[in-house]
Structure 1
Amino acid sequence: MPMEVRYDNSMISVSEVGSHLDSLMLDGTDILMRSYDDIPAHFGSAFLFPYANRIRNAKYVIDGIEYNLPKNEGNNSIHGLLLNRSFVIAHMDDNSVEMETDIQAGSEYPSHINVKIRHTITGKSYKCEVNVINDGNRRCPVAAGFHPYFLYVGRWEIDDPKTVWKMEYEGYFPTGKMQKMILEPDSYKDTFDNQFFADSDILLKTGNRRIRISKHNMPFFVIYNGKYSAGRSVAIEPMMSAVDAFNNGIGLRLVNPGDSISFGYSITLL
């Protein structure tokens, strides 16, 4: 059952399954699209860990050892290992909830890691903070992301940054090249499922609202407004790394035994 945390006229609803942000209300306004088909990656904001997007052929090699992931999109793996995992509530107070889970070392992942995620709500802002500790004996790869669907009325526009670096693709996977692109005011008319690099805050206009998306240790993002956005939302997805980073290494973080890494993002109604 999702847990609700309220602060003044703002509210978050967080599921223990996947630590999924089911809904977000800031200052009385719904910010994220609510569920219409119960698929976690199609509403609210999914936590995608340890990889956010596709891993080619659902396998990768770290330190000479091959690991095999679940094939859940054709021959590939997508959206990580925790989307359907139950989290344990570690701490809860008036305006936040912290959850945790772990991944065991095995055929899918090199090392045992502990994952803690904290969701915090204030008057006009939501913050998600993640801390990962490698408790095992091998290096482990991290290329995490989030999948928030922002509601809009009529149109949406990225007001800043205007200039971004767009990843070049062959099929579903990046070539390693990027090209400069200007996000025009009428870009909402186009169909996006593209990854970009811009290590800065994102200012998003969603009709009569302005939203700031701040990213910590997550310099990439995806814009998606395809069929799962239901014609009323746009996904602006903070990501640590490029698609298939477990294989191509673009933006990949390798966490040594005993070390930790933190990352996250926030949404502020301006």
Structure 2
Amino acid sequence: MTRIAAPTGEQFHLRHDGAHGAVEATITEVAAALRQLSVDGHALVQGFPRESTPPFGHGIVLAPWPNRVRDGRWVHEGTVLQLDITEVERKNAIHGLLRNTPYRVVEKWDDSVTLGAAVVPQHGWPFHLWTTVQYALTGNGIRVTHTATNIGNHAAPIAFGTHPFLAVGDHPIEELTLTARTVEHVIVDDRLNPEGLEPVTGTRFDLSGGVAVKDAQFDDAWRVEPDGDGIVRSVLSAPDGTETELWQGREWEWLQVFVTRIFPGENGQQTAIAVEPMTAPADALNSGIGVRWLQPGDSWSGSWGICRPA
């Protein structure tokens, strides 16, 4: 009998005995996706079956750009470059070049794993990068650190994002409230490509006072602002006060929120909410907003994480 590997490849299970109980996570080989995360049995992300690909890109690494590139086309040093169209219905290139790539293990411990993958020259992308992502369990969640190193001969652009769907234990997603320190909302066209920014004060895009997921109709991005300690925090809370927090360092100035009512669950389709830290907004290869240019041999690093607040 031939054994057929799961679409996500090998799975890496992490465990840490924290002050609030066991912290556990599962990371996939393909796309280095965060498939499961829990603290003392309390889920912080919505899981998905080992036998399936990550639904809606759940938990995957978005590099060397997050979100969309309009028409898959951008200009570099006066030359028009054409990326493969990977969001066919909207005719965009979406979420980078690693979403179907198997990562290799760089380092593995009981409570952490570092995975690496190369971004090689290809259609519309004449650069060569080495990227890693480290998943390290903490006492109440996980810290995720991304790095990129230019291993090519020319300066190369880089931006990162990730795509976790959050949960608060077994509370129904429709009962939850999302709070985030949003400053400006990205205005988009009918293909979800950016057309400008607008202040959020007094609009439905102001998430600072909390927005009920049951009323949310979002596939939107914001520029977000850190707290006094330099950390940006987005909090998903249940009626009983239980919370899941997604935090992002100063390098991650943008946030995408995506709500779907057709996420595949154990009992059929259900509501799910992705809270996605990004270092750049959509179409950044064209606008240049949030893009870092690495000289040959140079590296960049930045971190974000998910936790259950004490």
TM over 0.5: yes
Summarize the Cα distance change of 1:68–1:251 in structure 2 as closer, same or farther, 3 Å threshold.
Answer: same
Counterpart-to-counterpart distance in 2, 1:203 and 1:78: 24
The superposition leaves residues 69-104 of structure 1 with CA deviations (integer Å, 9 ceiling, x where unpaired) of 221212211111101101110101121001111122
The alignment status of 1:27 with 2:40, answered yes or no, reads yes
Q: What is the deviation of 1:41?
A: 4.9
Normalization by structure 2: what TM-score? 0.80
- Is the CA contact (8 Å cut-off) linking 1:69 and 1:77 kept in structure 2? yes
Summarize the Cα distance change of 1:160–1:85 in structure 2 as closer, same or farther, 3 Å threshold.
Answer: closer
Unaligned runs of 5+ in 2: 1-9, 227-231, 264-268
Q: Which amino acid aligns with 1:158?
A: L
Q: Secondary structure at the match of 2:31?
A: coil
The corresponding residue for 1:7 is 16
| Larger displacement relative to structure 2 (4-13 or 226-235) | 226-235
The corresponding residue for 2:97 is 81
The alignment status of 1:110 with 2:126, answered yes or no, reads yes
Q: What is the deviation of 1:114?
A: 0.7
- Is the CA contact (8 Å cut-off) linking 2:177 and 2:210 kept in structure 1? yes
- Which entry has the higher C-alpha Rg, 1 or 2? 2
| Larger displacement relative to structure 2 (250-259 or 213-222) | 250-259
Q: What is the deviation of 1:185?
A: 3.4
The alignment status of 1:222 with 2:256, answered yes or no, reads yes
- Is the CA contact (8 Å cut-off) linking 1:7 and 1:122 kept in structure 2? yes
The corresponding residue for 2:243 is 210
The corresponding residue for 2:84 is 70
The corresponding residue for 2:158 is 142
Counterpart-to-counterpart distance in 1, 2:85 and 2:284: 17
The corresponding residue for 2:62 is 48
Q: What is the deviation of 1:235?
A: 0.9
The superposition leaves residues 13-59 of structure 1 with CA deviations (integer Å, 9 ceiling, x where unpaired) of 11111111111112321111122693325364111111111111112
The superposition leaves residues 160-188 of structure 1 with CA deviations (integer Å, 9 ceiling, x where unpaired) of 42x53111112211113222242243442
The alignment status of 1:240 with 2:279, answered yes or no, reads yes
Summarize the Cα distance change of 1:51–1:227 in structure 2 as closer, same or farther, 3 Å threshold.
Answer: farther
Q: Secondary structure at the match of 1:110?
A: coil
Counterpart-to-counterpart distance in 2, 1:147 and 1:106: 24
Counterpart-to-counterpart distance in 2, 1:268 and 1:113: 30
The corresponding residue for 1:158 is 178
Which 4+ residue blocks in structure 1 deviate beyond 3 angstroms?
Answer: 184-187, 227-232
Counterpart-to-counterpart distance in 2, 1:98 and 1:247: 31
Q: Which amino acid aligns with 1:18?
A: A
Counterpart-to-counterpart distance in 2, 1:59 and 1:111: 15
Counterpart-to-counterpart distance in 2, 1:43 and 1:256: 30
Counterpart-to-counterpart distance in 2, 1:205 and 1:194: 17
Counterpart-to-counterpart distance in 1, 2:199 and 2:141: 33
The corresponding residue for 1:177 is 197
- Is the CA contact (8 Å cut-off) linking 1:27 and 1:123 kept in structure 2? no
- Is the CA contact (8 Å cut-off) linking 1:195 and 1:223 kept in structure 2? yes
Counterpart-to-counterpart distance in 2, 1:239 and 1:211: 19
Q: What is the deviation of 1:105?
A: 2.7
| Larger displacement relative to structure 2 (213-222 or 197-206) | 197-206
The superposition leaves residues 135-161 of structure 1 with CA deviations (integer Å, 9 ceiling, x where unpaired) of 112222222200010124242223342
Normalization by structure 1: what TM-score? 0.92
The corresponding residue for 2:149 is 133
Unaligned runs of 5+ in 1: none
Q: Which amino acid aligns with 2:237?
A: T
The corresponding residue for 2:7 is none
The alignment status of 1:17 with 2:17, answered yes or no, reads no
The corresponding residue for 1:122 is 138
- Please give the root-mean-square deviation of Cα atoms over the aligned residues, in Å: 2.0
